[in-house]
Amino acid sequence: MIQEVLKLFYEKKYHEARSLLADINTVDLAESLEMLELEQHELVKVFRMLPKDNAADVFSYLSRDLQKRIIDSITDLELAEIMDDLFLDDTVDMIDEMPANVVKRLLLNADKETRLLINHFLQYPDDSAGTIMTIEFVDLREDMTVREAFTHIRQTGVDKETVYTCYVTDDYRNLHGVVSVRTLLLSAPGDRIADIMDTQFVFVRTLDDQEEIARLFDRYDLLSIPVVDNEMRLVGIITIDDALDVIQEESTEDFVKMAAMLPSDIPYLETNPVIHARRRIPWLLLLMVSAIFAGAIIDFFEESLAAMTALYAFIPMMMGTGGNSGSQAATLVIRGLALGQVVPGDVLRIVWKEMRVSLIVGAILAIINFIRIALINGSVLLALTVALSMMVTVVLSKLIGCLLPLAAQKMKMDPAIMAAPVITTLVDAGSLITFFMFARLIFNI
C-alpha cells in the first residue's frame, strides 16, 4: 500500500497519496518508512503528507535513526507540534537516546512545563517505574457525578494515553481511588464518583522495578497502573503496552544472559559485528579460564589415565551429562524466579525436589550406561566406574544448578547469569574429579 502511495507521490498526485496514507495503519506505515530507505527529502515529504493527528503517532513508532533524520529536516514549528502531540513517555525515551545537539533542539521546542517534566523524568533510574510512566491520564474528583465525569473525559480524553481507567485525586494530587469507564458506563448518570470508585486499587511507586510492575499487570489483569510518589501523590500511569514491552525485553535479556552474553536493547540484525563480538567475548574468556581448570584436573590425573587410556573417551560424556543436568535445574529455577513462581525462601523445597529428581535421573542414566559399557567394552569394572560417577555427577550438577541462581537472587544479582554456561563450566571440573576418583578407587591405579 505504501508502494502505491510512493507511486502517486512520484507522479505528484499528492492529494490521492495523502488520502491513501490516512488509511494505512500507523504501525505498518512506520515500518514501511523504515524499509523503503527513502532519500532525506522524500522521507520528509512523505512525513509531511501524513494527516496532522497521525503524524506524532507514526513518529513515535519510528526508529531513533529515522526520528533523528526527520527532526533534522523539519521546522521548529513542526517539531513543536509533534512534541506537543507525543505522549511524555515516548518523548522521554526518545530524548534519552538522541545525540546532544538533537536533545537541545527538542528541549528548546517543548513548552516550559514539558521541559521541566522531561528533565525530571530523565533522572529516574533505568528499569524503574519512572522511566516508563506517562502523565497523560484522566483525573477525576470524588464529588463529581458520573455525568460530569463523562463530560470531563470528553473534554480532555483526546490527549490521554488511556481513558479507560480514570484516577480520582484531590487538590493535593493525592490518589484516592480509581474508576474504570466500564463502571462509569454501568452506573447511573447521577451517581457520585466517591461512591463507585475502587479504593482497593493496585499502585506502584516511581522507583519500583519494571519487571515487578509487569508481573502486576499479568497477575491482576490490569490495563494501566497508577504511579505514586512517597506521599501517595499521583505522578503518572503505566499502560499495558509498555508493560508488554518490558516483559518481552526482560525475557530477551534473560535468554541473552543465559547464553553467556552481555545484553543489549538493539535487535540482532541492527547490531554491527564489532558490538556483537564485544558482547560475546567477556564471558567466553571467563568461561575459558574455568575450562583451563578442568584441563588442569586431567593433567593432575595423568598418571592414572596413562595406565588406562580407555577412560579418556568418557570425558565428553561425563562433562556433557553433568553440564546438561545442571543447566536443566538452573533454567527451571531462573525462569521460576523471573515469573515469581519461586523465591529464594523456597530453597529447601527446591533442593529436596532436585534431590529426588536427580536420584531418579541419575539412576536411570547409570543403569543404561552400566549395561551399555558392560556389553560393549566387556569390562564390568569400567561399567561400574562410569555408572557410579554418572549417578554422583547428576546429583551434584542438579544441586549446583538449582542453588546458584537462588544464591544470585539472594545477593541481588541477576539469577540469569547462573545459567548453562557457568553451571556447565563449574560442573565440568566436578564431573571429571568424580570420574577419575572412582576410576582410581575401582581400578586401584
**What is the closest distance, in whole angstroms, from the C-beta atom of residue 130 to a copy of itself in the complex?**
21
Give the residue among 242, 235, 246, 170 at the shortest CA–CA distance from 203: 235
**Of the residues 75, 123, 230, 309, which one makes contact with a copy of itself according to CB under 8 A:** 309
Q: Could you tell me the three cell numbers for 168?
A: 480520582
Which range binds a copy of itself by CB under 8 A, 43-51, 62-70, 98-106, 422-430? 422-430
Residue 407 in contact with a copy of itself, rule: CB under 8 A: no
Footprint (CB under 8 A) of a copy of itself, residues 24-63 = 24-25, 27
**What is the closest distance, in whole angstroms, from the C-beta atom of residue 419 to a copy of itself in the complex?**
8
User: Would you call 341 helix, strand, or coil by DSSP?
Assistant: coil
For residues 148 and 146, what is the distance between their CA atoms, to the nearest angstrom?
A: 5
Neighbours of 226 (CB within 10 A): 23
Structural contact between residues 105 and 150, judged by C-beta atoms closer than 8 angstroms: no
For residues 114 and 92, what is the distance between their CA atoms, to the nearest angstrom?
A: 10
For residues 397 and 362, what is the distance between their CA atoms, to the nearest angstrom?
A: 10
Task: Output b/e per residue, 275-304; b: 16+ Cβ within 10 A.
Answer: eeeebeeebeeebeebbeebeebeeebeeb
Return the number of the residue (104 or 182) whose C-beta is nearest a copy of itself.
Answer: 182
DSSP state of 127: T
Q: Give the 3-state DSSP-derived string for 148-192, with helices as H, strands as E and coil as C.
A: HHHHHHHHHHHHCCCCCEEEEECCCCEEEEEEEHHHHHHCCCCCE
Footprint (CB under 8 A) of a copy of itself, residues 204-223 = 217-221, 223
Q: How many CA atoms lie within 13 A of 234 on its CB side?
A: 28
Q: Could you tell me the three cell numbers for 210?
A: 519494571
**Of the residues 177, 336, 415, 430, which one makes contact with a copy of itself according to CB under 8 A:** 336
**Of the residues 68, 141, 280, 440, which one makes contact with a copy of itself according to CB under 8 A:** 280
**Of the residues 107, 291, 384, 407, which one makes contact with a copy of itself according to CB under 8 A:** 291
Q: Could you tell me the three cell numbers for 167?
A: 484516577
Return the number of the residue (80 or 256) whose C-beta is nearest a copy of itself.
Answer: 256
**What is the closest distance, in whole angstroms, from the C-beta atom of residue 69 to a copy of itself in the complex?**
22
**What is the closest distance, in whole angstroms, from the C-beta atom of residue 440 to a copy of itself in the complex?**
16
Footprint (CB under 8 A) of a copy of itself, residues 221-250 = 221, 223, 240-241, 244-245, 247-248
Structural contact between residues 184 and 111, judged by C-beta atoms closer than 8 angstroms: no
Residue 282 in contact with a copy of itself, rule: CB under 8 A: no
Return the number of the residue (161 or 208) whose C-beta is nearest a copy of itself.
Answer: 161
Give the residue among 82, 146, 92 at the shortest CA–CA distance from 117: 92
**Of the residues 94, 365, 388, 392, which one makes contact with a copy of itself according to CB under 8 A:** 365
Structural contact between residues 429 and 294, judged by C-beta atoms closer than 8 angstroms: yes
**What is the closest distance, in whole angstroms, from the C-beta atom of residue 251 to a copy of itself in the complex?**
4
**Of the residues 251, 351, 407, 414, which one makes contact with a copy of itself according to CB under 8 A:** 251
**Of the residues 134, 169, 325, 389, which one makes contact with a copy of itself according to CB under 8 A:** 325
Structural contact between residues 185 and 146, judged by C-beta atoms closer than 8 angstroms: no
Q: State the DSSP H helix or E strand holding residue 177, giving kind and residue range, or none if neither.
A: strand 175-180
**Of the residues 75, 123, 200, 444, which one makes contact with a copy of itself according to CB under 8 A:** 200
**What is the closest distance, in whole angstroms, from the C-beta atom of residue 29 to a copy of itself in the complex?**
11
By rule CB under 8 A, what count of residues binds a copy of itself? 107
For residues 247 and 263, what is the distance between their CA atoms, to the nearest angstrom?
A: 15
Which range binds a copy of itself by CB under 8 A, 81-89, 230-238, 352-360, 435-443? 352-360
Return the number of the residue (73 or 180) whose C-beta is nearest a copy of itself.
Answer: 180
For residues 87 and 144, what is the distance between their CA atoms, to the nearest angstrom?
A: 26
Phi, psi of 167 (to 5 degrees): -115, 130
Residue 317 in contact with a copy of itself, rule: CB under 8 A: yes
**Of the residues 101, 320, 367, 441, which one makes contact with a copy of itself according to CB under 8 A:** 320
Q: Mask: binding to a copy of itself, 127-166, rule CB under 8 A, as x and -?
A: -----------------------x--xx--xx----xx--
Return the number of the residue (316 or 378) whose C-beta is nearest a copy of itself.
Answer: 316
Give me the numbers of helices (H) and strands (E) for the chain, helices first please. 21, 6
**Of the residues 116, 367, 368, 380, which one makes contact with a copy of itself according to CB under 8 A:** 368
Residue 185 in contact with a copy of itself, rule: CB under 8 A: yes
**Of the residues 101, 182, 371, 413, which one makes contact with a copy of itself according to CB under 8 A:** 182
For residues 248 and 37, what is the distance between their CA atoms, to the nearest angstrom?
A: 27
Residue that has been written with the C-alpha cell 568461561 in this structure:
287
Residue 288 in contact with a copy of itself, rule: CB under 8 A: yes
